Structure 1
Amino acid sequence: MWLLAPAMALSMGLSPLQVGMLFAARQIGSGIAHLPAGFIGDNLRKRGFFLLATFWCVAAAQLMASVSTDYWVLVGFLTLASAGAAAWHPVAMGIMTQWMPNRKGFVLGMHMAGGTIAEIAAPMLVGLSLMYLSWTQVLQINTIPTIILGLIFVRFAPMVIPPLAGLPIGPNIRSLARSVVQPGTLAILFTIVLHNMAMVAFMSMAPLFFQEVKDFSPGLTGLAFSVFLFGGAVSSPFVGHISDVFGRKTMTIGGLVGGGICLWLITFGSSEWTIFPLLIITGILMLSVRSIVLAMALEKIGNRESTVLGLISAVGEGVAALGAVLAGVLGEIDLGLVLILAGGLSVVAGLAICPLTQNSSALSCKSMGSASG
């Protein structure tokens, strides 16, 4: 979707602020969907069929958006598609962390790497397609993989393991609420919100920045996005594993602060030969730390993984809509300011973790292993 923004803006006469509002609406839709999805993931025994429904929600909404000519109708259907896609993640991540509770960083990193691998090819294909096709045709073609995966998942939906038994809803929700208001948890949530705002601000305006300021073609812009995502996809499982062994705090601070600085440096890049390496490094630093921060939150809050992940994502994604709005406002003035904003948000997100005590997952894993022995 990010790469379709310039073509949509040109075709429909949208301003940077309207583009920012579109992505803000999508973020709000994602945020709203996360919390009930997480709750369903922890309480619905046949949750595989819920996961199956998310594929068809996304496919139907994107097809309707592709034939919409009104701006607000387009916003509505793309928001619905984002909500459907968002509903998948807290349930899927909760299931994976239940399988490997002592390796949360690695498991969440694998989940994010798997999702990002598909996004690596998509920007290049979308960028090349936009050179020959309209954005509506590209959106329709982009829906085909979702439909295929929806058909394949019909077979796998009944195989999804049920949630853990013996978790009463009322007491656990009250315990969850008490855990969330603890200072350490609030600091992690604040970091997640700022990190998401940084990512949304950057990704919503980066295509316009690269094409209008750096004079990239649509194909080169797609390649730029791919190398950014490639860095995060390759590094996420390894970074998650390292954080499981040596702890998460230092890696989180380094990734967020370093990634923010790299975003600032991109504004000074004069060609793709300087911008592309910076994008790879930024992807490695900023994208891979997300799994670490989520693992930190799970360790702070405790059980009901899908509900916790849904809550975290709802807060993070919902408030992150402000990042798209701010990016749109700054984009009206200077698109380079958007990258400065995103970099600043990332740096502040990293600094927000500093007051927390070092959390070594290695110690917790060893203690859990010795207790089970």
Structure 2
Amino acid sequence: MAETVDANFHRHGDVRNRGGFVLSALAGGHVLFHWLIQGFVVLLPEIQSTFHLSGVGVGALVTTRELASGLVSLPGGFIIDPLRRYWGLILAVCIGGISLGALLLGLSPVYPLLLAGIAIIAISHSIWHLPASASLSYHFSQRRAMALSFHGVGGSIGDVAGPVATGSLLLVLGWQGILSVYAIAPFFLAFMAVWAFRGIGGPDT
């Protein structure tokens, strides 16, 4: 690993600038997104039954997720670059978006709020990737592929664990209860992320 990168990691002895911490924190955040997104797929039959949705109604939920994610990706890239000093805060807000979206889904009495909840989660997930990937590229300028692969593994862990955990929870909780529970951890983690990701964009941020 390049000496300059190592210097950044150990700057002032701050654990937040160490390679292992940066990788673990960003990969952990990625787990949360994929856990909820894939867990939601398991809950779709229950949601369909509760709201008496047709196939079109179920499809609209998935379409809303993908559309919301796609619409913010390109403009998000242009916006995120000049906001480098705020990358840490943006990452924390994205984690908070998981909590808000899951809460809306879990407490939603009407279909439009379901759409709003899934859109918030999708937008938060899409925006997350921008400063997360850019931060990894900065901190691991000589080993970007390795760093990005670790971040991707975090998503894969969420993809595997989310459906299994959600299916297991369905044995004891309803879908609304599960989503309400899923809103709790990200709420607190968002506050931790404000500290964890502070200055993640570089020494001048």
Percent pairwise identity: 13
Q: Which residue of 1 aligns with 2:93?
A: 254
Question: 2:22 aligned to 152, 176, 184, which one?
Answer: 184
How many Å separate the matches in 2 of 1:346 and 1:209? 23
Deviation, 1:245, is 0.8
Deviation, 1:345, is 4.4
After superposition, the Cα gap between the structure-2 partners of 1:286 and 1:347, relative to the gap in structure 1 and judged at 3 Å, is farther
SS of structure 1 residue aligned to 2:33: helix
CA contact (8 A) 2:30 2:155 kept: yes
Q: Which residue of 2 aligns with 1:337?
A: 177
Equivalent residues, number: 188
How many Å separate the matches in 1 of 2:151 and 2:182? 20
TM-score normalised by L of structure 1: 0.44
Deviates more, 1:180-189 or 1:213-222: 180-189
Matched, 1:357 2:201: no
Deviation, 1:214, is 2.2
Q: Deviations over 1:201-225 (max 9, x none)?
A: 22x3242232122221122111111
Q: Deviations over 1:321-368 (max 9, x none)?
A: 22221111112231223322433344355334222323447x79xxxx
Q: Deviations over 1:178-234 (max 9, x none)?
A: x775333322222222333232222x3242232122221122111111112211110
SS of structure 2 residue aligned to 1:243: helix
How many Å separate the matches in 1 of 2:189 and 2:34? 9
Q: Which residue of 1 aligns with 2:12?
A: none
After superposition, the Cα gap between the structure-2 partners of 1:338 and 1:293, relative to the gap in structure 1 and judged at 3 Å, is farther
CA contact (8 A) 2:34 2:156 kept: yes
Deviation, 1:259, is 3.2
How many Å separate the matches in 2 of 1:200 and 1:261? 17
CA contact (8 A) 1:187 1:352 kept: no
CA contact (8 A) 1:190 1:349 kept: no
After superposition, the Cα gap between the structure-2 partners of 1:199 and 1:342, relative to the gap in structure 1 and judged at 3 Å, is farther
Asked which structure has the greater CA Rg, the reply is 1
Matches within 5 A, 1:145-224: 181-202=19-40, 204-224=41-61
Question: 1:283 aligned to 115, 122, 130, which one?
Answer: 122
Structure 2: segments with no counterpart, 5+ residues: 10-17
Deviation, 1:320, is 4.4
Question: 1:263 aligned to 90, 97, 102, which one?
Answer: 102
Matches within 5 A, 1:293-312: 293-312=132-151
Deviation, 1:235, is 0.8
After superposition, the Cα gap between the structure-2 partners of 1:231 and 1:330, relative to the gap in structure 1 and judged at 3 Å, is same
CA contact (8 A) 2:92 2:194 kept: yes
Q: Which residue of 2 aligns with 1:241?
A: 78
How many Å separate the matches in 2 of 1:321 and 1:297? 23
After superposition, the Cα gap between the structure-2 partners of 1:325 and 1:348, relative to the gap in structure 1 and judged at 3 Å, is farther
Q: Which residue of 1 aligns with 2:153?
A: 314
After superposition, the Cα gap between the structure-2 partners of 1:271 and 1:245, relative to the gap in structure 1 and judged at 3 Å, is same
Residue type of the partner of 2:162? Answer: G
CA contact (8 A) 2:47 2:175 kept: no
Structure 1: segments with no counterpart, 5+ residues: 1-170, 365-373
How many Å separate the matches in 1 of 2:189 and 2:74? 21
Q: Which residue of 1 aligns with 2:13?
A: none
SS of structure 1 residue aligned to 2:194: coil
Q: Deviations over 1:254-274 (max 9, x none)?
A: 122033212212222222233
TM-score normalised by L of structure 2: 0.75
Residue type of the partner of 2:69? Answer: G
CA contact (8 A) 2:66 2:122 kept: yes
What is the alpha-carbon root mean square deviation over aligned residues? 2.9
How many Å separate the matches in 2 of 1:183 and 1:308? 12
CA contact (8 A) 2:133 2:148 kept: yes
